[in-house]
Amino acid sequence: MNTEHSLKEEEAGKVIGANLRQFRINKGLSIEALAKQIGVSKLTLIKIEGGEANPTLSVIWKIANGLNIPITALLSIESDVSIARKKEGLQLISSDDVFIVEPLFRSHDFTEFYRGYLKAEKAYVSDPHQPGVIEYITVMSGELIVEVGGESYHLEEYDSIRFKGNLPHKYVNPSSSLTILHFVITYNYR
């Protein structure tokens, strides 16, 4: 791994930790209370808040859902003009390394944008999100099978799907090449 990439990950971990601490305190939650609420160990949350750990995609989702905030609120990606270049930003990686998402911009209106990469012939099971979350996915390259609430939907390049994110869902790449996705996620926490 090159030094520049490591530095980005280290900086991202510190930003996530500082923002997590601020949101947790603003909501009047102790580390113990948040850990119990979201099913993540107290030690893990302490390490994240201290900037000593880069949480997995699953853990970040649990934290954001537990705090009722969009994931990008934890990231501090903000400027008057922002460009999100492929593979140059923060990458959130599933614990099994088969699914990577790149948050593109910080959410200001409860809408988030992501670029996603699902490895060939692999699947990623997403934890259901809180009620009010809607996912919009467009296949930019490759194929995708989205399983939502027990039903399967096969998408090809440039096909899109919208579904309620609080339903159980899974992404499957049935092909022998990388699938590239564009996600828009909206939150109705108000």
Could you tell me if 50 and 111 lie in one domain?
no
Within a domain: 88: no
Last residue of a domain, one of 74, 91, 122: 74
Concatenated DSSP letters of 67-110: HT--GGGGT----SS----TTTS--EE-TTSSEEEEEEE--SSS
**In this predicted model, which residue has the larger pLDDT, 66 or 153?**
153
Most confident among 48-52, 90-94, 185-189 (mean pLDDT): 48-52
Range of the domain at 8: 4-74
The answer, yes or no, to whether residue 16 has pLDDT greater than 90, is: no
Residues 106, 164 share a domain: yes
pLDDT of residue 136: 97
Query: Mean of the pLDDT values across residues 168-180?
Result: 97
pLDDT at res. 77: 53
Q: What is the mean pLDDT of the chain?
A: 85
Q: Is the pLDDT of residue 4 over 70?
A: no
Number of domains in the chain: 2
Of the CA atoms within 13 Å of residue 9, those in its CB half-sphere come to 15
pLDDT at 72: 76
**Both 107 and 149 in a single domain?**
yes
Convert the pLDDT of each residue in 104-143 to its tens digit: 876 666 888 899 999 999 999 998 888 889 999 999 999 9
What confidence score (pLDDT) does residue 168 get?
Answer: 92
Among 175, 99, 100, which residue's Cα sits nearest to residue 143? 175
Q: What is the CATH number of the domain that holds 112?
A: 2.60.120.10
| Percentage with pLDDT > 70 across the chain | 86
Tell me how far apart the alpha carbons of residues 102 and 58 are, in angstroms, rounded to a whole number: 14
Residue-wise pLDDT for 138-148, tens only, equals 999 999 999 99
Domain shared by 126 and 177, yes or no: yes
CATH number of the domain where residue 10 is located: 1.10.260.40
Residue 75's pLDDT is 74
